[in-house]
Chains A and B, each alone.
Chain A
Amino acid sequence: GQQVMQIPQYQHVQEGEDFTTYCNSSTTLSNIQWYKQRPGGHPVFLIQLVKSGEVKKQKRLTFQFGEAKKNSSLHITATQTTDVGTYFCAGPQTGANNLFFGTGTRLTVIP
């Protein structure tokens, strides 16, 4: 079945360090979305990538969609304590009408 894996599962960084999470799908995706969930909160949409090789930036966050549209990455430059949370990638489930979420990467930022 379809799988979307994210690595690492957990990441602890010192404030100011960079952080990257990687998302790998077992199937080609028409698009990929990224969500952030703060501890005790709900997922909040960050961005959507559609084109092969697409790169988008939001302030300190850089999102990339692989050429084969099967992988993606999120890079945060100079992390801050407000970046704490779990980052999920999600893509359309094959042959269905819903999003298939990745396993998530939980980021802890040490002040």
Chain B
Amino acid sequence: NAGVMQNPRHLVRRRGQEARLRCSPMKGHSHVYWYRQLPEEGLKFMVYLQKENIIDESGMPKERFSAEFPKEGPSILRIQQVVRGDSAAYFCASSPLNSDLDEQFFGPGTRLTVL
């Protein structure tokens, strides 16, 4: 049973470009969470999705950031017109049910560097 997969593992973008981060949850998991971790800091929740639905996006910046989890394929976190402050590790996590009793399984992360 493969774990949570994220790609790319490392992504370098110039200011103004778009970044697309992909996440495939564990098999059987239908809940996906995206977190951002700035260097030397903790994890900050961004968005929670189920298939074809955004359940909670309270942690998403209002502009330039969007997320989706289509019926087929991975969840995608998109950052448009990246700025240096977007440089961070972006982790995806999945769980089988949305219950606050469930552990979350994290992917290896995508390290985004904006030049």
Interface 1/0s, chain B 51-81, versus A by CB < 8 A?
A: 0000110110000000000000000000000
Q: How many residues from A make CB contacts under 8 Å with B?
A: 23
Residues 1 to 55 of chain A near chain B (Cβ within 8 Å): 30-31, 33, 35, 41-45, 48, 50
Can you list 22 contacts pairing A with B, beta carbon distance less than 8 Å?
A31-B101, A35-B106, A42-B106, A42-B109, A43-B93, A44-B106, A45-B104, A45-B105, A48-B103, A92-B100, A96-B45, A96-B56, A96-B58, A97-B98, A98-B33, A98-B48, A98-B59, A99-B33, A99-B45, A99-B104, A101-B43, A104-B41
Q: Once A and B bind, how many residue pairs between them come within 8 Å at the CB atom?
A: 53
Contacts of B108 in A (CB 8 A): 41-42
The size bracket of the interface on B is 20 to 34
Contacts of B44 in A (CB 8 A): 101
Bound CA span A99–B5, Å: 20
Q: Tell me if B101 and A98 are in contact (CB < 8 A).
A: no
Contacts of A45 in B (CB 8 A): 103-105
Determine if B42 is an interface residue (Cβ-Cβ < 8 Å): yes
